């Protein structure tokens, strides 16, 4: 391009990088004019080859179909937008191979920071990228003993959240409480289940495996069939539950639908979700759920990525909040 303005590349570069104090107004004008008429944009690709960082942030989520992940993406996008930074969102379906491919693609595009919202126990598939200096921030995944030291984890206390949900039901008199989830192969789900177990145990309610239907499918893309099977299983028990804790709001809604479809009155049943998706407050009965402080978490991540490397940066755990609504109105005498 520069050539077409009748000046040397370095002159253009100088102007581009605000090193134009000493520049002849006339020259500047000529260059600016040529830029405009050619609608020239400096090639970020060339800049990156020279070592400039790609300012964009990568965000990988398990399933954009689940509105929770959409809200999280929007929240994080908003927080970074306020700092003039953009986000590329990637959908992994929680497939480690897909996750690896996205991380390597972002890496290949020179992106330095990736927020990985996938709570898989092992992060081995990301080793090469991490070794190459890609900074990974894991979201929704509490710190593990075996994690590499450069990994940052940002999460709520999932165990505490599920404990609150379960404790709330117990306080309303429920003692037969099902736990509805897909596969529990992620760290956050394991923690949620642990919170459920602790609440039962603290209240001297024995854990009944029959109330925790198992599945090997995560149900991220579609919780419907899994929740239906689970609900039908527990409703068929001799001593069926009067309440259920779902591993997330989509499971809660799917389970509620299954209860209705089984001909039961949903008002006779208490349901608690997890995540606080927007529709939870629009439906009837409105969904009691556990809320994550997404805004605070997004801002913490903005700060983490702005930090100069080298400083000690601990993993962060945020407190969840129980939001009580109509779906847990009923009290058991």
Partner DNA sequence: TTGAAAGCGCTAACAT
Partner DNA sequence: ATGTTAGCGCTTTCAA
Kindly state whether residue 39 participates in binding DNA, applying the rule CB under 7 A. no
Complex with DNA: residue 42 or 240, whichever CB lies closer? 42
Kindly state whether residue 291 participates in binding a second copy, applying the rule CB under 8 A. no
17 binds, among DNA, a second copy, none (CB under 5 to 8 A by kind): DNA
Kindly state whether residue 46 participates in binding DNA, applying the rule CB under 7 A. yes
Stretch of 211-219, 237-245, 278-286, 310-318 lying at the interface with a second copy (CB under 8 A): 278-286
DSSP secondary-structure letter at 288? B
CA 151 to CA 154: how far, in whole Å?
A: 10
**Minimum CB–partner distance for residue 41 and DNA (Å):** 7
**Minimum CB–partner distance for residue 101 and DNA (Å):** 18
What phi and psi, each to the nearest 5 degrees, are found at residue 114?
A: -130, 125
Contact 189, 181 (CB under 8 A): yes
Complex with a second copy: residue 197 or 253, whichever CB lies closer? 253
CA 86 to CA 82: how far, in whole Å?
A: 10
14 binds, among a second copy, DNA, none (CB under 5 to 8 A by kind): DNA
Binding residue count for DNA, defined by CB under 7 A: 28
Site pattern 48..87 for a second copy (x: CB under 8 A) = xx----x-x------xxxxx-xxx-xx--x---x----xx
324 binds, among DNA, a second copy, none (CB under 5 to 8 A by kind): none
Q: Which of 46, 263, 310, 312 is close enough to bind a second copy by CB under 8 A?
A: 46
What phi and psi, each to the nearest 5 degrees, are found at residue 155?
A: -160, 165
CB neighbours of 301 closer than 8 A, spacing ≥ 6? 76, 79, 115, 137, 139, 154
Rounded to 10°, the helix 25-37/9-16 angle is 90
Contact 144, 121 (CB under 8 A): yes
**Minimum CB–partner distance for residue 260 and a second copy (Å):** 6
Kindly state whether residue 247 participates in binding a second copy, applying the rule CB under 8 A. no
Contact 143, 157 (CB under 8 A): no
Alpha-helical segments (H) within the chain:
2-5, 9-16, 25-37, 44-49, 67-81, 96-108, 127-131, 158-171, 187-202, 224-235, 249-261, 294-306
CB burial of 200-223 (b: ≥16 within 10 Å; e: otherwise) equals: beeeebeebeebbbebeebbbbeb
Kindly state whether residue 43 participates in binding a second copy, applying the rule CB under 8 A. yes
330 binds, among DNA, a second copy, none (CB under 5 to 8 A by kind): none
205 binds, among a second copy, DNA, none (CB under 5 to 8 A by kind): none
Other Cβ atoms less than 10 A from the Cβ of 165: the count is: 30
Contact 294, 287 (CB under 8 A): no
- The residue behind tokens 């001593």 is 239
**Minimum CB–partner distance for residue 278 and a second copy (Å):** 7
Complex with DNA: residue 30 or 143, whichever CB lies closer? 30
**Minimum CB–partner distance for residue 22 and DNA (Å):** 3
Please give the residue ranges that form the binding site for DNA (CB under 7 A): 1-2, 6-14, 16-17, 22-24, 26-28, 40, 42-43, 46-47, 49-52
Please give the residue ranges that form the binding site for a second copy (CB under 8 A): 39, 41, 43-46, 48-49, 54, 56, 63-67, 69-71, 73-74, 77, 81, 86-91, 98, 101-102, 104-105, 107-110, 127-128, 131-132, 221-222, 224, 250, 253-254, 256-257, 260, 266, 278-279, 281-284
């Amino acid at each position: 391009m520069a050539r077409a303005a009748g000046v040397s590349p370095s002159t253009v570069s100088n102007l581009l990088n605000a090193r134009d104090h000493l520049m002849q107004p006339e020259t500047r004008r000529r260059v600016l004019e040529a830029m405009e008429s050619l609608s020239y944009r400096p090639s970020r690709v060339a800049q990156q080859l020279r070592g400039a960082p790609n300012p964009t942030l990568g965000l990988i989520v398990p399933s954009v179909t689940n509105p929770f992940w959409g809200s999280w993406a929007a929240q994080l996008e908003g927080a970074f937008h306020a700092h003039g930074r953009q986000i590329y969102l990637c959908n992994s379906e929680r497939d480690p191979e897909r996750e690896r491919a996205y991380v390597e693609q972002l890496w290949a595009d020179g992106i330095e920071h990736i927020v990985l919202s996938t709570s898989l126990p092992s992060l081995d598939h990301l080793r090469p990228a991490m070794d190459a200096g890609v900074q990974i921030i894991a979201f929704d995944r509490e710190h593990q003993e075996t994690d590499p030291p450069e990994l940052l984890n940002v999460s709520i206390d999932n165990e505490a959240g599920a404990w609150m949900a379960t404790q709330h039901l117990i306080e309303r008199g429920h003692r037969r409480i099902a736990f509805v989830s897909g596969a529990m192969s992620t760290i956050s789900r394991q923690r949620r289940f642990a919170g459920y177990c602790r609440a039962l145990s603290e209240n001297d309610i024995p854990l009944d495996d029959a109330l925790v239907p198992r599945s090997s499918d995560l149900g991220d893309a579609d919780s419907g069939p899994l929740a239906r099977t689970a609900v039908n299983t527990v409703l068929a028990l001799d001593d069926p539950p009067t309440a259920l804790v779902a591993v997330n709001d989509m499971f809660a809604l799917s389970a509620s639908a299954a209860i209705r479809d089984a001909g039961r009155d949903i008002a006779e049943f208490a349901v608690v979700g997890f995540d606080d998706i927007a529709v939870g407050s629009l439906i009837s009965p409105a969904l009691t759920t556990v809320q994550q402080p997404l805004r605070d978490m997004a801002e913490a991540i903005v700060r983490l990525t702005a930090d100069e490397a080298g400083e000690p940066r601990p993993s962060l755990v945020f407190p969840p909040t129980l939001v009580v609504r109509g779906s847990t109105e009923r009290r058991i005498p």
